[in-house]
Amino acid sequence: MGGRMARPVLCERHGLMTSQGLMILVVQIVAIVGVMYFLFIRPQAQARRKAEAMLAALKKGDEIMTAGGIVGKVRDVKESLITIETGTATIVVDRSRIVRVGNQTAAGPGA
């Protein structure tokens, strides 16, 4: 009879340990997601906001560089197209292709 009574107690203990183990697993997963947010997602969002602000502040006379490496001065600013003067040529580029305005770079951390 003593052996029969030990089994239900063992099962209760096992169930209790399983719920504690599950709780620890959930806490670890939440911690990993939190670390990933602060290491990857948040810095990328901040870099995107910085780049958007830089492009929104673009004005005539600013010196810029495009993603293709063309350097020039802004001659005209329209909604999505920027006319730049580089050397003796005048080029029209899309606003999203500008990676640098003056000394301010639109690239995120590590780039």
64 in the same domain as 52: no
How far apart (Å, rounded) are the C-alpha atoms in residues 32 and 21?
Answer: 17
Question: Does the pLDDT at position 108 exceed 90?
Answer: no
pLDDT confidence of residue 20: 83
Residue 91 belongs to a domain: yes
Total of domains in the chain: 2
Q: Which domain holds residue 75?
A: 58-105
Provide the β-strand partners of residue 64: 72, 101
First to last CA, the chain: 71
pLDDT confidence of residue 17: 56
Residue 111 belongs to a domain: no
29 in the same domain as 39: yes
Q: Determine contact, residues 106/52, Cβ cutoff 8 Å.
A: no
